[in-house]
Amino acid sequence: MEAVGGTRQAHLQGRGTRPWAALRAPRPGQRPRSAPTAALTPSRPVALEPQQQQQQQQQQQRDEPAADELPRQLAADVAAAPPRAAAAPPSAVIDAPLLTRRIQRCASLRELDALVRAHGRAFNRIHVPLALLRLHRLLESPGAGGNGCESEHSPLLERRQSNSEASTSSSSSSSSSSSSSSSSLIRAGLNGGGSSGGGSSAGHHSSSSGTAGATSNGVASNGSTSSGGGGGGNGGSPPAQPQLAASVLPLEGMLTGWLLARATALAPDLDAQGASNILYVLGARRLYHPAAVEGACAAAARNVDAMTPQHLSTAVWALARLGVVPADGLMRRLMANVLRADPRAFAAADYTMLLWGLPRLGLRLQRHAPRALAAGTARLLRAGRVPPAEAAAQLEGLARCGVAPDGEWLALFWAATGPRLPELDAGELGGLGVAMGLAGPLAEPPPPAWLAALEGAAEAAGLLDRWHPGSASAEARARLLHGLSKGVGAARLGEHGSALVQRLMAAAVPATARPADQPDGGQSWQHQQHQQQWSQGAWQQQQQQQQQQQGVDAAGGVSPGSATQLLAASARLGSRPPRPWLSAVLAAARARFAARGVPAQEVSEALWALGRLGVRPSHSWLAAALAALLADLPGAEASHLAQSLAALQRLDCRPGPAFWPSAWRQSAPLLAAAEPPAAVRLLAAVAAFGEAPPADWVGAVLSSTGQQLWLEVEHGPKRRASQQEQQQQQQQQQQQRRRLRPPPTKQPDAAGPGPPASEADSATPWPLRRLASAVCSLARLRITPPPSWLRAALLVAQQRAECEAALDPKAVAQLVWGTGHLSRACDYAERPGAVWVDALLGPAGLAPGDFGPDALAMLLTGLAKLRTSPGRAWMAAAVERTAECMPAMAPRSLRSAVCSLATLRAAHSAAASPAFVGSLLEALPAALPALGGGGAADLLVGLVALRLPRDAARRAAAALAPHVEAAARRAQAGGGGEDAERGARLLLQLAVLRGDETHAPHAPAGLARELLLARQAHLQRQLEQWSRASSSGGGGSSSSGGSGGGSSGGSSGGGSSTRRVASNGRAHAPRNGRHQEQQQQHQQQQRPEAAAQAAGADGMATAPAPEVPSNLATAAVGGSAQEG
């Protein structure tokens, strides 16, 4: 038997009652304070044989408590019960079938109380759950005060309940017949209970909260608030329950307490049906009784293999309603039986309750489990046996389980729900909008006929009426509009959808002011000025009070929750609301944020909508929003914080210093359970602000992403191969369907779902864009990941480059740039080879013409830091592409591109390209003022290394002279030997660019001659390399590495000091030994600070290249690094 136990005390919401766990359970030998009332004599006494009667009495006396032990003492916080009259013990023994019918026919609480008093000792494992269910029905009915009038919430419930009563009246005295009758009743309860919170037909979702309690039997509590996204009328709020009179509350408490105590005593004898009935009643009323829950879970664990799909779905739904997570063994067996059961045995309500309960239990299901449930719901949708409200609840449940329905499932959904949309009321239409929003963006948009039917249903429900304050359909209208904007999108709505959205917006937004984006023709200049001031926040602060007053008068009945949804919908649809209404919405949202308790998802969505609309709120509003975000962050997700930070960056608003410590501390636990997309988005948002996170936060990010990277390395090719096979099979099936006529209906598979998926199915795919964002963000934050993390990233990048049909140029540029920074940061412990670069930029990769101006500069900078170039032909094309993009480049991008081309040994191609030289000379005058002295000095190093023609070099020197000389004067005026020498070196480099370095009067003694000799040696070495390459047939490999000679005063020969790595990975020393000795002597004479000055800001100097480490096998990445 599985070890089960209780978890926590859940507070009962609604009706103003106290928790029923405060009732004192009956104990052996305890007598009530008042005697029970007179026994209710049955209208039709049953004559039993003396022997049978004696056996039944002995069994009841041995196993069941007496009826006169009914508890009559409530807790101190519950009102005292009214005085009761004395009663005698029951005069006759009633048989089980008759007692079952008597329980069903109870029309009031007093009648049920009298029946319990008279025949309580005859209640067995069938009658107790049935009495609890009947008590739940009476409490839901408006006539619970004792008038005997009962009205149910749903016609479907009335029909099913009448069927249940008819089947119960014809049952026999055996336990099996009683069990079958209660089974039909629980089916009615499953569908009717939806109106009381989380049921299947109405789909209302209530929230449960409570304090965690210590357990010892293996039942764990969520510890978090479970709330629904809103199907039905209230959509996320606690259900509206009828208020009972003060005289009824004690009676309700006494009946509930005794029945639960009785259920606990009978727990060892409960079967699958009894455990399901008790769990249903407890979940429907959110009544957490530890002993009853433990007993029901123990009975479910004993009889889990005998449970039907109805019992399984009821147990999962009830545990989710109670906020109770059973032991792992019980939950695994429940899910195994769900997946093993015949799909034809499931009803629509079973799938609805399963999909409602599974995501709210906080379980991490394997992907094949919700997919199997999606296949089962598709069978019922195809048969047309799913009501539209339940179909919407199933769509919402699949979305909450992490399954995006495919086009085939959605086609069945549109076909099944379209003709029955007029059956939905305003609340159910709002639930449909919530489902579409959670599942969005949908794989297939709804057809025009479905949108036309939705417009008719919305008009019939009053959602398209003229807006007025205090409208009851405001929240439903906002949810439907939000679902259409998020699930379908403005581009796929079509004619009918656009008309519906316009009518919803007109009914939701008061037209009291002209929209801000449609001013009068005579006020265009003033409108532009006001728009500019609005973006800066000045105009908003001046007109804040007046706009708020106008907005309150115009939108007085809009609640903050619906206003936030309307704001997000207008942002997605590209429609900016009027300014007064927008101010009122911001004021209402600020009041809600100040009151706390708002979900973090709502705060992030509000910030995102403001960023999308370009509306910058006040600092006090942002402070209230960030405080509400931090307050709910422990129970939120990492994606909420990432979306909020991205919106703040778009609004050009930076959080204060007090925000970041709390954000680090509260978001670090979220990263352990975050999926790679959310973790990468959060990392990119943090990198955009440039805030340095703490070590534990960085460790959590690298741990969660590194594990998924290695899973992608191991199982990514297998998953892609299986996906290709599935696509081929689908194409073949589509071709066969075109040729042959399909059958009218598809028979379900009786074998059920296949075996559980392997670890390859649980691995999250890593697209190249996501990987590039992660690598680039780590580089911007100056975070050095472990070598294993970088190795996995390189392998995944090569796999994605080989399998993706179209590479994203921006993502490739970010990936190469970030990889170069990370490789240099870890001293090239992990370094990509030539095959890795060829996979991205080779014949099968991207050409230089595919990159934009800034992306090309970033790519060249990354290749320079990697010390690897694609090839001569690619570099020559890169030079021409740089010449084309140079007029559109930013000043910093221009500097990086020029210095990177010099480092990548593209001097010959650049000097021989008239277009490059001409574009460079034209772009220099405009870029130099923005670069400043430091940028001009870096650009000077690159221009010297490019070896431009004489005339072009002099023109470039003339443009650089004012900025370089000013930087040199500032360095010399700073005092000190190092500053003075740095200034002198800048002037010497400028003289080298002019071509008169030997006649420079300011050069130190002997330094000009050493510079000239180093330049001549470098040119001689280049000629020798070219001659060897031409003699060997031109089959040399592409080279990269240090900059050319003459790039600086002391490091011009740095290219000769690097070690050349051949394709086989072995290092070879230069052949010119005499030249090597000269370079060693020159390096000993040179000071370190002079070499650093010659290097430049982007690391373009010719530093000695380290040997390729043996721990990175070049074959694993695809080749070996080659350096010149």
pLDDT in tens, 590-606: 877 887 778 898 899 99
Instruction: Answer whether residue 848 is part of any domain.
Output: no
- 814/145: higher pLDDT: 814
Whether 1094 is in a domain gets the answer yes
Domain-ending residue, one of 383, 412, 440:
383
Q: How far apart are the first and last CA of the chain?
A: 72
The mean pLDDT value for 939-951 works out to: 87
Neighbours of 340 (CB within 10 A): 11
With tokens 């939701």, the residue in question is: 508
Based on its alpha-carbon atoms, the radius of gyration of the chain, rounded to whole angstroms, reads 38
180 Cβ neighbours under 8 A, 6+ residues apart: 167, 171
Category of 217 on φ-ψ map: left (φ > 0), alpha (ψ -120 to 50) or beta: alpha
CA 1062/CA 267 separation, integer angstroms: 77
Q: 311: pLDDT confidence band, cut at 50, 70 and 90?
A: very high
* Position 509, amino acid: V
Q: What is the distance between the alpha carbons of residues 1054 and 864, in angstroms, rounded to a whole number?
A: 15
> Is residue 89 situated within a structural domain?
yes
* More confident of the two residues 1015 and 169: 1015
**Residue percentage of the chain with pLDDT more than 70:** 61
Q: Is the pLDDT of residue 1037 over 90?
A: no
Task: Select from 1007, 1020, 1001 the least CA-distant residue to 1086.
Answer: 1007
**Band of residue 860 on the pLDDT scale cut at 50, 70, 90:** very high
Reading phi first (left if > 0) and then psi (alpha if -120 to 50, else beta), residue 948 is in: beta
Region 308-333: mean pLDDT is 88
Contact 35, 95 (CB under 8 A): no
Q: Per the structure block, which two tokens stand in for 1012?
A: 């000239």
CA–CA distance, 401 with 878 (Å, rounded to integer): 47
Comparing CA positions, the residue from 440, 455, 436, 451 lying closest to residue 493 is 451
List, for residues 395-439, the tens digit of each pLDDT value. 999 999 888 888 899 999 999 999 999 999 988 998 999 999 999
Instruction: Give 1011's pLDDT tier (boundaries 50, 70, 90).
Output: low
Q: Assess if residue 148 is contained within a domain.
A: yes
Q: Which of 609, 529, 537, 521 is nearest to 571 (CA)?
A: 609
The pLDDT assigned to 1001 comes to 46
Compute the distance between CA of residue 465 and CA of residue 508 in angstroms, rounded to an integer.
9
Over the stretch 734-757, which tens digit does the pLDDT of each residue have?
665 544 444 443 333 333 333 344
CA distance 107 to 254: 18
Q: Is 604 exposed, middle or buried (0-12, 13-18, 19+ CB in 10 A)?
A: buried
Instruction: Please identify, among 351, 383, 415, the residue that sits at the C-terminal boundary of a domain.
Output: 383
Beta strands 210-212 and 220-221 are: unpaired
Amino acid at 251: L
Beta carbons of 970 and 926 less than 8 angstroms apart:
no
Give the closest residue to 804 by CA, choosing from 833, 772, 756.
772
Low-confidence winner among 480-484, 547-551, 787-791, 975-979 (lowest mean pLDDT): 547-551
Instruction: Tell which wins on pLDDT, 819 or 579.
Output: 819
Residue 813 has pLDDT above 90, yes or no: yes
Q: What is the pLDDT of residues 1040-1051, one digit of tens each?
A: 333 333 333 333
Report the alpha-carbon distance of residue 878 to residue 949 in Å, rounded: 19
Residue where a domain terminates, one of 328, 349, 383: 383
In order, the DSSP letters of 690-738 are T----HHHHHHHHHHHHHHHHHHHHHHHHHHHHHHHHHHHHHHHHHHHH
Contacts of 240 (CB under 8 A, 6+ apart): 14, 234
Regarding predicted confidence, which is higher, 17 or 1073?
A: 1073
Q: What is the pLDDT of residue 858?
A: 93
Q: Which amino acid is at 351?
A: Y
Question: In the prediction, which pLDDT does 731 show?
Answer: 66
Lowest mean pLDDT among 84-88, 427-431, 1005-1009, 1022-1026: 84-88
Instruction: Compute the distance between CA of residue 840 and CA of residue 949 in angstroms, rounded to an integer.
Output: 33
Average of per-residue pLDDT across 910-926: 89
CA-based nearest residue to 510, from 576, 462, 554: 554
Task: Please report the pLDDT score of residue 773 as a whole number.
Answer: 92
Model pLDDT, residue 1096: 37
Average pLDDT along the chain: 69
Q: Sign of dihedral through CA atoms 60, 64, 67, 68?
A: positive
Q: Note the pLDDT of residue 1073.
A: 42
Domain assignment present for residue 1106? The answer is yes
Q: Provide the domain count of the chain.
A: 2
Let me know: does 961 contact 923? Beta carbons within 8 Å.
no
pLDDT tens for each residue of 514-526:
333 333 333 333 4
Tens digit of each residue's pLDDT (9 = 90 or more) over 40-79: 223 333 333 444 445 444 444 444 333 333 232 222 222 3
Per-residue pLDDT band at 778 (split at 50, 70, 90) = very high
914, 947 in Cβ contact below 8 A? no
Question: Cis peptide leading into 560, omega within 30 of 0?
Answer: no
Tell whether omega for the bond before 441 is within 30 degrees of 0, i.e. cis: yes
**851 contacts: CB under 8 Å, gap ≥ 6:** 809, 813, 859, 881
Write out the residue range of the structural domain in which residue 1043 sits. Answer: 1012-1117
Residue 511 carries which side chain, given as an amino acid letter?
A
Q: Indicate the pLDDT class of residue 1053, thresholds 50, 70 and 90.
A: very low
Q: Compute CA distances 592 → 13, 347, 599, 829, whole Å.
A: 22, 41, 11, 52
**pLDDT for 1023 beyond 80:** no
pLDDT of res. 780: 93
Domain assignment present for 957: no
* Statement: residue 474 has pLDDT above 90: no
In the block, residue with structure tokens 């020798």? 1024
Would you say residue 277 lies in a domain?
yes
3-state DSSP assignment of residue 1006: coil
pLDDT at 487 over 60: yes
pTM for this prediction:
0.63
Which range, 196-200, 258-262, 1089-1093, has the best average confidence (pLDDT)?
258-262
Q: What integer is the mean pLDDT of 1077-1089?
A: 44
For range 691-712, the mean pLDDT: 88
Within a 10 A sphere around the Cβ of 355, how many other Cβ atoms?
28
Question: Lowest-confidence range among 377-381, 727-731, 969-973?
Answer: 727-731
**For residue 292, what are the contacts with CB-CB under 8 A and spacing of at least 6?**
260, 263, 264, 267, 278, 282
Which amino acid, residue 802? Answer: E
Q: Is residue 305 part of a domain?
A: yes
Question: What mean pLDDT comes out for the span 1020-1039?
Answer: 60
Cβ-based neighbour number of residue 809 at 10 Å: 18
Confidence class for position 1090, pLDDT limits 50, 70, 90: very low
The winner for highest mean pLDDT among 101-105, 244-248, 312-316, 1114-1118 is 312-316
CB atoms within 10 A of CB 1118: 19
Structure confidence at residue 812 (pLDDT): 92
